[in-house]
Structure 1
């Protein structure tokens, strides 16, 4: 333990970004599976990277220039698939990393998709609803045919939602001939139910996080009742994961969001906290019966389960030693750095990796895409049952590889994802 920490602290290079993180993970597993060097070259780079600057007129009449991104990493298994996020920290390297993670995620889940990601470099809280609509529609128009229902299918991500997807779908369909518009509804997933959305898509990612925790607990003969957990990020993913865990008797004792960090060792009501945050512009700060603590103390809270469900690179070499949980379930994409993971694994902490843990969202997206494509309507119970079945199958596959190869869960998930891609390239060959 001491030796590893010293080695990590002695590193002179700057903090690893998400792109360096995902590449290190990929390279480690490529060596583990003896990945064909030519296929490794292909998977190491993105297919397409778009950076778009576009003007939008604000409510006061002034024009503001925005910077948008869409990175398409790989489509060997099917159309590109991945969310759009609106956040000031977005840059091309972050989007490239997120697009690569989507490729591994869709491959692991056995879906007929590739990986992509995108978004706009902005703080959406600084804009009115009408401005956000104009920004979204103008970005969609600028993307043009770089997206499409059989080519590249965006979805909600950080700071985007069903309304955002409805604006994108409407804008995209309006650029098509009237006879073709109805056939392009599935250009995005995560739409409102009245606009072709899937019943239960709002909770699919958080439900998947809960399911993987439940599957792991069943494997270890651990009851979730009275187990304590903390959640970083109380958005869509964090809320629904907490909702389902609370229904199983687990107790939420700490939450962190962009506004602050609260704790109550006796438990925080998930539903009351949601209602409170809605009344307070999304903030959890000041919730009755809770105590505010410093941001840097969050990961050191006493708990059994830790759910990082916010942004990437949150669990680092600096705070990994503080974590008291025996299980980390990655609701976010890339929340744990490679160095931090080494520390946690050496301490005996289990990590359910992001490409498995939060894949309920893209699985739900696939079902919505199929529903639109085939002109069907699926009921909530059927959808949740399908997600449960699909995620259990993948979870068992990951565990089997973990046990047979004597490796950690992330490495096992990567092995399955990368070997599926390698088989595809081996069978098809490389054009020409």
Structure 2
């Protein structure tokens, strides 16, 4: 699948502990804001967990049975919102953790959404495009009424992209009564621009990573010019983050993906690497303008900025002490586990948390949803300006809260996000 939403899939150390991480983060913030214990009980568990097994005929005529998941964590603020990923690590525990992160992410951004996540446990490299289409359409049919434009709105994630979303939208609309089909286009976001997608949605997550780093450097009275950065993952998020950082004067010095790691302290040209990966089956390995390096040495690279933009649990107690960057910008969801984070904070390394750093994607998704819902069509410059404004508001809110309460930025972001949901429950009450 060409240029996936997160083709930057590196060898994830483990998905075990993701739920532990998100709960530790949640409990720390809940204690900080003295969260109502009854609301804490509600937010500590998911609303719904859907597991579907469905058969699909392969190109060779054989039938294979796949398992798909959709976890809906909370919808106090609005419809469930979150990506669908295709990866061997997809399971119910990973989906629970990722769904909870989406609840905090949408709340922090001030969006009228809750959190959901899911996907299919498979390695997409093993299947043809035709097979992936049939798998996607059958998965959509299996989910049936568990998704919907005012109920649960999927989006791209690891190993899924705009084409995947187009298949889902078409399948979903085909199952609706004829009079309702056109009104259901916003059942997913991240669609191709010719099928109701938003101009700029493809770069929104990476652009948000770049912006939050830029805002952080401005708070430190410096600029991105001449700053060296390392990037774990060179798919959609990683590429666009690197693209905008390079345009602002930063220098890419090391990259790691699922296939290997490369380094050049004099700089790796982002567009040259992008073109190379497209001609090399998505791999950075063998790029002529950089030298190969050991994977385990990647996080020890001399740099100012470290961007983990792949999967979860990449920065742990085993490698956090090696990191030389001044700031970690979490382009991925949950790339730093609790033990790794403690090491980083003890070293004085700042962390721009995932629910802030990579929120450009869901903010862009919200604009696409609005565009479809209202029958509007926005130009690229309008979308980028909206992203700029929204992300700056979110960043300033988190940074100022962290400074005022002497908290790390993750805890500050969680406090803001959870307090907004608490307010909704407090004002509305608990049914019945």
What TM-score comes out, normalization by structure 2 length?
A: 0.96
SS in structure 1 at match of 2:102: helix
What is the aligned partner in structure 2 of residue 394 from structure 1? 394
Match in the other structure for 1:139: 139
Note the C-alpha offset of 1:252. 0.3
Runs of 4+ in 1 over 6 A off after TM superposition: none
CA shift in 2, pair 1:161/1:300, >3 Å: same
Q: Distance in 1 between matches of 2:205 and 2:93?
A: 24
**Equivalent-residue separation in structure 1 for 2:410 and 2:16 (angstroms):** 18
Tell me the distance in 1 between the aligned counterparts of 2:269 and 2:320.
27
> What residue in structure 2 maps to residue 375 of structure 1?
375
Match of 1:285 in 2: 285
Equivalents in 2 of 1:94, 1:424: separation in Å?
27
CA RMSD of the aligned region, Å? 0.9
Match of 1:5 in 2: none
Mapped partners of 1:222, 1:125: distance in 2: 42
Give the match for residue 231 of structure 2: 231
Question: Conserved in 1, the CA contact under 8 Å of 2:156 and 2:165?
Answer: yes
Corresponding residue for 1:8? none
CA contact (8 A) 2:15 2:312 kept: no
- Residues 1:276 and 2:308 are matched in the alignment: no
Q: CA deviation at 1:223?
A: 1.5
Distance 1:296 1:52 in 2: 37
TM-score normalized with structure 1 length:
0.96
**Aligned pairs for 1:127-166 within 5 A:** 127-166=127-166
Aligned residues: 419
The separation in 2 between residues aligned to 1:154 and 1:15, in whole angstroms, is 21
Aligned equivalents of 1:398 and 1:179: distance in 2?
44
Matched, 1:267 2:254: no
Match of 1:346 in 2: 346
In 1, the alpha carbon distance for the partners of 2:409 and 2:384 equals 24
Superposition deviation, residue 404 in structure 1? 1.3
Aligned to 2:305: 305
Contact 2:75–2:115 under 8 Å retained in 1: yes
Residue matched to 1:214: 214
Residue deviations 1:11-65 (CA, integer Å, cap 9, x gap)? xxx9951011000110111111110000000000000001111100000000001
What is the distance in 2 between the residues matched to 1:319 and 1:91? 26
Q: Paired residue for 1:81? A: 81
| CA–CA separation in structure 1 for the residues paired with 2:79 and 2:138 | 23
| Aligned residue number for residue 66 of structure 1 | 66
Whether contact under 8 Å (2:156, 2:162) holds in the other structure is yes
Q: Which segments of 5 or more consecutive residues in structure 1 lack a partner in the other structure?
A: 1-13
- Residue by residue, what CA displacement relative to the aligned partner does 1:313-333 show, whole Å, maximum 9, x if unpaired? 000000000000011000000
What is the rounded CA distance, in whole Å, between the counterparts of 1:53 and 1:365 in structure 2? 28
Does residue 105 of structure 2 align to residue 105 of structure 1? Answer: yes
Give the corresponding residue for 1:428.
428
Once the 2 structures are TM-superposed, how far is the Cα of residue 342 of structure 1 from its aligned partner?
0.7
Aligned equivalents of 2:405, 2:117: Cα separation in 1: 31
1:148 Cα offset (Å): 0.2
How many angstroms does 1:210 deviate by? 0.3
Distance in 2 separating the partners of 1:310 and 1:355? 15
SS of residue in 2 equivalent to 1:348: coil
Residue 295 (structure 1) shift: 1.1
Secondary structure at the counterpart of residue 81 of structure 1:
strand
| Residues 135 and 16 of structure 1, relative CA distance in 2, 3 Å threshold | closer
For residues 355-392 of structure 1, what are the alpha-carbon distances to aligned partners after superposition, in whole Å with 9 as ceiling and x for unaligned?
00000000000000000000000000010000000010
Question: Runs of 5+ in structure 2 lacking a partner?
Answer: 1-13
